[in-house]
């Protein structure tokens, strides 16, 4: 059974009379990568700040490794690494010197641990260069190196792929999957890049207007989405709208239709009887982005 690393229970946050968070609850186990998603202004960053003890909790509780973030802050935060917005780096120093500065804040972090982390984030060849010469992706990886120097078991990242090119995003994805799998970290990622989270996370938590509206495995949330689209590849789609008014034409050889498994043989029979050659039929898996918009009704704050 996986160890529970982070537990948020009925978190509420008010600024004056305005309620920002309403009974926000979710958990992360060891080795999980949880995507924390929602429209702009939904409460993602506020939730992260409450978890890290950067803002006071109006009501509710955050436990990290069994320690209450408000009552036992030092013990709770001791195994947490985080990057909120951009990593703090000294551009005129080398990557290695930046890590040395962070290492001085903790007990027992020696050169061996620094070198281990440098290898983990794949900066061995550039670690002695000045950070000002790093690409944005390299700076992000150096930021993660800083965040994991003290061997945390919870890593919290706010928009870690912001501004990265496709290569930088791929490197970040591989790094985070490696940390979750091999370093046994629980990882919480707040991001707008839903396509990337689709490839990265095993769990998703959706927040809208300060309330959690869904928490589940990423495959489950896509299965629950209402449409059952099936993609057909045929010789010609000219007659399809006449035969299947509910079909969506993609191009001259492909269409998709919302149909459950039991309806597929009838559709195939209809096409064959109308002398339409069928080359392929496959279930079209819904993307996380499509599932998200179905759950939230779009990028709207009420």
- The CATH number that applies at residue 175 is 3.40.50.300
26: left (phi > 0), else alpha (psi -120 to 50), else beta?
beta
> Looking at the domain assignment, is residue 39 inside a domain?
yes
Give the pTM.
Answer: 0.79
Quote the number of domains for the chain: 2
How distant is the alpha carbon of residue 231 from its chain centre?
28
> Of 197, 223, 249, which residue constitutes the final position of a domain?
223
Residue 207 and residue 251 in one domain: no
> Looking at the domain assignment, is residue 216 inside a domain?
yes
> Of 201, 223, 245, which residue constitutes the final position of a domain?
223
> Looking at the domain assignment, is residue 257 inside a domain?
yes
Strands of the 211-217 sheet, one edge to the other = 80-83, 154-158, 186-190, 33-37, 203-208, 211-217
> Looking at the domain assignment, is residue 292 inside a domain?
no
Residue 139 and residue 199 in one domain: yes
Q: What is the pLDDT of residues 211-246, one digit of tens each?
A: 998 888 877 776 665 456 688 999 999 999 999 998
Residue 124 and residue 70 in one domain: yes
Residue 92 and residue 44 in one domain: yes
> Looking at the domain assignment, is residue 293 inside a domain?
no
The three-class DSSP label of residue 1 is coil
What value does the mean pLDDT take over residues 197-210? 89
> Looking at the domain assignment, is residue 294 inside a domain?
no
What value does the mean pLDDT take over residues 170-192? 91
With a pLDDT cut of 70, the percent of the chain lying above it is 91
What value does the mean pLDDT take over residues 40-62? 93
Beta bridge partners of 9: 61
Residue 13 and residue 130 in one domain: yes
37-54 CB burial, b ≥16 within 10 A, e <16:
bbbeebbbbbbbbbbbbe
**Residue 137's domain spans which residues?**
4-223
Residue 113 and residue 126 in one domain: yes
Residue 57 and residue 178 in one domain: yes
Burial class (CB in 10 A: 0-12, 13-18, 19+), 197: buried
Residue 45 and residue 105 in one domain: yes
Residue 39 and residue 92 in one domain: yes
Average pLDDT, the chain: 88
> Looking at the domain assignment, is residue 143 inside a domain?
yes
8: left (phi > 0), else alpha (psi -120 to 50), else beta?
beta
> Of 202, 223, 244, which residue constitutes the final position of a domain?
223
- Residue 188 sits at φ, ψ, to 5 deg, of -110, 120
Strands of the 278-283 sheet, one edge to the other = 248-249, 254-258, 229-234, 278-283
Instruction: Between 59 and 191, name the one with better pLDDT.
Output: 59
Residue 216 and residue 244 in one domain: no
Instruction: Between 155 and 250, name the one with better pLDDT.
Output: 155
Q: What is the pLDDT of residues 101-152, one digit of tens each?
A: 999 999 889 999 999 999 999 999 999 999 999 998 899 999 999 999 999 9
Give the pLDDT of residue 301: 37
> Looking at the domain assignment, is residue 61 inside a domain?
yes
Residue 29 and residue 170 in one domain: yes
């Amino acid at each position: 059974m996986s160890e529970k690393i982070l537990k948020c229970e009925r978190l509420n946050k008010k600024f004056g009379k305005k309620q920002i968070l309403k009974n926000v609850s979710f958990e992360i186990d060891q080795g999980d990568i949880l995507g924390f998603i929602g429209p702009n202004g939904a409460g993602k960053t506020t939730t992260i700040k409450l978890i890290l003890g950067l803002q006071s909790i109006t009501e509710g509780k955050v436990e990290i490794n069994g320690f209450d973030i408000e009552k036992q802050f030092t013990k709770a935060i001791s195994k947490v690494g985080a990057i909120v917005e951009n990593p703090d780096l000294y551009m005129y120093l080398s990557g290695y010197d930046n890590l040395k500065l962070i290492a001085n804040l903790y007990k027992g972090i020696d050169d061996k641990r620094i070198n281990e982390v440098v290898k983990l984030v794949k900066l061995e060849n550039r670690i002695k260069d000045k950070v000002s010469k790093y690409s944005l992706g390299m700076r992000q990886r150096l930021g993660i190196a800083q965040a994991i120097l003290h061997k945390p078991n919870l890593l919290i990242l706010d928009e870690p792929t912001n501004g990265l090119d496709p290569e930088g995003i791929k490197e970040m994805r591989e790094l985070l999957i490696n940390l979750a799998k091999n370093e046994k970290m629980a990882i919480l990622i707040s991001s707008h890049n839903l396509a990337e989270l689709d490839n990265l996370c095993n769990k998703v938590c959706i927040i809208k207007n300060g309330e959690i509206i869904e928490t589940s495995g990423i495959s489950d949330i896509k299965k629950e989405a209402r449409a059952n689209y099936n993609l057909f590849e045929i010789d010609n789609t000219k007659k399809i709208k006449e035969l299947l008014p509910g079909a969506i034409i993609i191009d001259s050889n492909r269409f998709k239709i919302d149909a459950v498994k039991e309806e597929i043989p009838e559709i195939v029979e209809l096409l064959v009887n109308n002398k339409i050659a069928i080359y392929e039929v496959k279930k079209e898996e819904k993307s996380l982005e499509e599932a998200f918009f179905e759950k939230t009704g779009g990028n709207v704050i009420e």
